[in-house]
Amino acid sequence: MSQIIGNRTTYQADQESRIIRDVYPDIALLDPDKAPLVTLSMKLRGSKPCTNPKLEWYEDDYVARWAVNGTATVANSTSSTTVTVTDGTLFRPGDIFLVPKAVDSSTAPELCRVTAVSSNTLTVVRNIGGGSVDTIPANWDLRLVGSAAEENGAFPSPKATTKTQKISYTQIFRTPTDYANTAIATETYGAPSGDRKFEHRKKLVEHKEKLNAALLFYGAGQYSAAGGPNGNPIRTTQGLMGTITTNITDGGGVLTKKKIDSYARQSFRYGSSNKLLLAAPIIAGAINAWATSFLNVSPGETHYGVNIKRIETPYGNWSLVTDWMLENGAGGYGFAGQAFSIDLDQIFIRHLAGNGENRNTKIMLDVVKDGTDGTKDEILSEIGYVIRMEKYHSRLYNVTDYME
């Protein structure tokens, strides 16, 4: 054993292969097309530290615009002034709602003004707009359009929404390697720096794919205090597929121009007018086929190593990325007919970092000292995803072909 004279520097630790490599900023550059969602999320927003594996935030919405009539039909008469709705908390005296016509009607809808609310029962004044009095069918949609206050009236009852707590968690991702020291010391073809370093790079790509798969396929974050195989706490983070429950479009098997237009209209209803469209190859192929006749598609550009095409729709702009992780298994089942419209402004990556310990992605060298003549390394991340405002994102599924 050699002696060190004077101060000890990082040189000695480096020579002993004991420096822990923090590789998170560089992992995004490794084969970016293999995990484009994680690549773009890392490069555009980066990762923010957190000091608790439980990630919490609150979401709010505006007061409701739509309500629903109950199971009783209301007659088309000005004397039929009782309307029982499914949720009376949406109404206050003075509110005005209209009764939409059937989609093929050109006649203006009837307006009703609420004078009293008792549980789910409304007392209303019919036909305040002077048009026609309509039958209000059971389970019919009602559109709230405002309120009318009387002169010198009492202070109105306010309407407000309840903020909703949302939770995700950091998840521990571990990708191990195990080499005999003899194998490390043996020179091999195809790995000029040795098989150990070659394997590190390969495992980094696999590790990144795990991170991408979690963000893509997981649902709500979950925590079990003693659910691990050794009875210890275990956590899984939040992902898009299980989070998106509102805006889901059935592609109907054969994707048509009309269907993709409908999906675009739904996708841009909420949130940013610029979103990422992460698509299975068949859906990307459909869009490419329609580029000249239907969709305005700009030529592909490379950003952060990811090939991106810009799609202009009447409702907003998509950055189209093909994700080969959206594929089927050998039996023909899987995700090859799906696409995700993602508002990247509402996706955040968090890594656990507190008390001087940073759990961002690292290559941990020689982590097990068990006396064997070998070296056990691992790539470790304790990170979590926060996907806010579920309605800002959407999913398309069931595409097996497309109509040219």
Domain positions in the chain are 10-61+161-404, 66-147
Q: How far is CA 24 from the centre of its chain?
A: 21
Residue 195: per-residue pLDDT = 87
Given phi > 0 = left and psi -120 to 50 = alpha, else beta, which region is 51? alpha
CB of 338 closer than 8 Å to CB of 240? no
For residue 16, pLDDT beyond 90:
no
CB of 308 closer than 8 Å to CB of 302? yes
Residue 157: per-residue pLDDT = 85
Residue 41: per-residue pLDDT = 86
Residue 307: per-residue pLDDT = 82
Q: Grade residue 339 by pLDDT with cuts at 50, 70 and 90.
A: very high
Q: Grade residue 178 by pLDDT with cuts at 50, 70 and 90.
A: very high
DSSP state of 365: P
Residue 106: per-residue pLDDT = 84
For residue 19, pLDDT beyond 70:
no
Phi, psi angle pair for 241, to nearest 5° = -60, -45
**CA distances to 224, 326, 331 from 280, in Å:** 33, 5, 17
pLDDT, mean of residues 47-55: 94
Q: Would you tell me how many other CB atoms lie within 10 Å of the CB of residue 15?
A: 10
pTM exceeds 0.85, yes or no: no
pLDDT (tens digit per residue) in 71-99: 999 999 999 999 999 999 999 999 999 99
Ranking 20-24, 357-361, 387-391 by mean pLDDT, the lowest is: 20-24
For residue 300, pLDDT beyond 90:
no
Spatial separation of the C-alpha atoms in residues 243 and 188, rounded to whole Å? 46
Residue 124: per-residue pLDDT = 97
pLDDT, mean of residues 279-289: 93
Rounded to the nearest integer, the mean pLDDT of the chain is: 89
Q: Grade residue 23 by pLDDT with cuts at 50, 70 and 90.
A: low
pLDDT, mean of residues 329-354: 94
pLDDT (tens digit per residue) in 115-162: 999 999 999 999 998 878 999 999 999 999 999 999 998 898 888 888
Spatial separation of the C-alpha atoms in residues 398 and 404, rounded to whole Å? 17
pLDDT (tens digit per residue) in 221-269: 999 999 999 999 999 999 999 999 999 999 999 999 999 999 999 999 9
DSSP state of 56: E
Given phi > 0 = left and psi -120 to 50 = alpha, else beta, which region is 183? alpha
The rounded percent of the chain whose pLDDT value lies above 70 is 91
Given phi > 0 = left and psi -120 to 50 = alpha, else beta, which region is 289? alpha
Q: Higher pLDDT residue, 156 or 16?
A: 156
How would CATH label the architecture of 10-61+161-404?
Alpha-Beta Complex (3.90)
pLDDT, mean of residues 21-50: 74
The rounded percent of the chain whose pLDDT value lies above 90 is 69
pLDDT, mean of residues 183-188: 89
pLDDT, mean of residues 356-372: 92
For residue 314, pLDDT beyond 80:
yes
Residue that the structure tokens 């309120």 belong to? 147
